[in-house]
Structure 1
């Protein structure tokens, strides 16, 4: 795999990186630590293409600092231990910007390791840019000055999702099915809390946690869901754990609704086919039919890679880094971190803000539903003839949730 091969030589590629004042043509080398192999490898591979694509778009004249971005992926096999080894290799090779997203268990390990490294190695600090890990603890009880999240956390997504569900009178019995790690546990926790507050009449008729990226047959879970009488399933599953769940639901004849985070991610559109029309929903910070510049980028990406781009946080990272480096007049992570706090940039769907209190990006969220592509909503992921049709937008001030973060800033 061409992205995985680069990881072997990461030390050589990043050797000699030095920190200097941001100036036109300076190279900012970054490392993304995420799965490139295994059941969830296809997601990481697709995202690696996204980083390659947008590093080119946002380099040089594409950012106000005039720097050039280069991103090298390392396969962590979705393992926290492998991720910590990859972090050490990246830092030893000179990397000062670390990106990760798939797996909150990995994110929590990396956040802690980066904080400890920076405390022990003044002058050699690194920043951790989180593009997808949504465990609320990362910007609450375990918040860390060196961690910045560009996705919306689970409290934000469930707040918007439950607001939408509260208006769906046909939703009466809900089953919670999630992956058995920090992210899945949090989805279930906040779903129960918010539904109890907004729709106390809704019954939670079942709840299951299953092993992450290990289950190949979800038929037994679908049988339990059907037996419970649930008309709706809420799941934070992603990658193969969602596509195989949807496949089992289709084959098992379950016709209830699914409320998801990641219906548009690699493999799931194909699994959905036409069977999920009108009953599979996604809450996310972007979708396939944003229009404008985003539509142009998506079309160009698909033509170049024969793949679909869906991780919009990639764009956010380059937008805010370029702006912060220009503001700081430096690529030094210490100065850039200070510039990132509270920064506001115009993005693909309006202004977004990196909240200073907890380093959680404040951004709109969208509820979409799986349905036929049309002239109005034309983008068809995985060439299914289907798409995610936007139903409702939740602006920054609506999707925002409180934080308990007590940020410890370096002196």
Structure 2
């Protein structure tokens, strides 16, 4: 498994490679099937890139240990190449060209909806221009609803619940919490953050019209080092709850500032169960901080326990304790689709992925890919922060001593929202 940083290095290294990169519908017998992860491995969100890389390597290693991907000529292992986008659309497009020049058929990205939108558009153009070297875009985290609505593409598949699905789950819980009277919205100042704000306003108005929105704040992405002034505004507003879609350091620093400032509000978040947030919040978060995700460490069941045990065996350092189940779902579904297509051709695999299912009899996490818009339908859990050892919290997050307990479970059909996608298929 290789790591490739600047596009120049990727191009120069791969230009000298032998015929392993020849354009074919499948790699030569026994040769690996290559996946290109395009992610910010440096810059303000490098911790998120590193966490996703660990999850991809865990999922790929597990699949390879089961025999890899079986094609008519035999078994093929998956192999990951990591391209550093520095978290920016321009660098992502440069790295996409490097991956395309290397004839890597599968592009994996997720830790920015702005980057995902740029990639989705570029891949559409590449595939129309170069039908012999088409690629498929597998999105594990970019949750802008537009990516599977008005911007939807045959070449793009999303394995995370989009922002509307997540917000629908959170506001269902808020609907039943009569202690919430005033809500402050704070989000990153780009398309995803604005989507979170718009969705929160619309869904709260429909479900809890008595709630007052007392603040709607946007801040630069990845550039705020001290959120104390924002916490002061939240305190002054009289809010008793905060809704935020912040992720990475922007979330960690926000909740740390709230903790340090003694702000006693309830946080409804997309990502408070990840990347240092639990430790940053500490005791102030117990019973007050909620998150939503497709899985967490304390989901009950033998299958969930086995998945978590396998991840921890692969990555035992507590600092690396951020398993992302949807990444394993993505890798398993991709492998199934390649086997069904009997090829790594992007169009054949895309058709095989449409309406793909993980059988609930074989998986503790029943999931299916909706063909209308290429949006994965899967369970969602709203969870609340608690001390490790409390009822329902046998595991903590990242060795922090704090974990999450399930508040409400949504089955796949309960997460489904309408789509405006008008997809053109080849």
Common topology (TM > 0.5): yes
Q: Give the match's secondary structure for 2:97.
A: helix
Q: Which moved more, 1:356-365 or 1:290-299?
A: 290-299
Q: Tell me the alpha carbon deviations over residues 294-335 of structure 1, each in whole angstroms, 9 at most, x when there is no partner.
A: 222232133268511332221011110111111111121111
Q: Which moved more, 1:21-30 or 1:267-276?
A: 21-30
What does residue 49 of structure 2 align with? 44
Report the equivalent of 1:350. 365
Deviations 1:198-239 (A, max 9, x none): 111111111001000000110111111011110000000000
Report the counterpart of residue 388 of structure 1 in structure 2. Answer: 404
Partner of residue 223 from structure 1, selected from 212, 228, 232: 232
CA gap of 1:36–1:259, structure 2 versus 1, over 3 A, is same
**Among candidates 301, 309, 312, match of residue 314 of structure 2:** 301
CA distance in 2, matches of 1:343, 1:208: 39
TM-score scaled by length of structure 1:
0.94
Decide whether aligned partners of structure 1 residues 64 and 82 sit closer, same or farther in structure 2, where only a CA change above 3 A counts: closer
Return the offset for 1:372.
Answer: 0.8
**How far apart, CA to CA, are the structure 1 residues paired with 2:187 and 2:418?**
24
User: Would you say the 8 A contact 1:76–1:82 is kept in 2?
Assistant: yes
String of CA shifts for 1:136-164, please: whole Å, max 9, x gaps.
00000000100000000011111111111
* Structure 2 equivalent of residue 337 of structure 1: 350
1:364 maps to 2:364: no
CA offsets, 1:93-152, max 9 Å, x none?
121110000110000000000000000111110000000000000000000100000000
Instruction: Tell me how far 1:267 sits from its aligned partner.
Output: 2.3
SS at match of 1:253: coil
Instruction: Return the offset for 1:87.
Output: 0.3
- Aligned with 1:103 (options 112, 116, 121): 112
Distance 2:3 2:277 in 1: 22
Alignment gaps of 5+ in structure 1: none
8 Å Cα contact 2:7-2:98 kept in structure 1: no
1:119 is aligned to 128
User: For structure 1, which segment, 54-63 or 199-208, has the greater mean C-alpha deviation from structure 2 after superposition?
Assistant: 54-63
Q: CA deviation at 1:7?
A: 7.2
Counterparts in 2 of 1:309 and 1:3: CA distance versus 1, 3 Å: farther
SS at match of 1:350: coil
TM superposition shift of 1:63: 5.2
Following superposition of structure 1 onto structure 2, how do residues 76-95 of structure 1 map, counting pairs within 5 Å?
76-95=85-104
Residues of 2 paired with 1:57 and 1:9: CA distance?
A: 29
Tell me how far apart the structure 2 counterparts of residues 184 and 127 of structure 1 sit (CA, whole Å): 26
Please give the root-mean-square deviation of Cα atoms over the aligned residues, in Å: 2.0
How far apart, in 1, do the equivalents of 2:267 and 2:124 lie? 38
3-state DSSP of counterpart to 1:275: helix
> What is the alpha-carbon distance in structure 2 between the residues aligned to residue 200 and residue 221 of structure 1?
25
CA–CA distance in 1 between the matches of 2:266 and 2:49? 27
Deviation at 1:45, TM superposition (A): 1.1
2:388 aligns with 373
- 150-159 vs 25-34, which deviates more? 25-34
User: Which residue in 1 is equivalent to 2:281?
Assistant: 272
More displaced 10-residue stretch of structure 1: 120-129 or 286-295: 286-295
Residue 10 (1) aligns with residue 10 (2):
yes
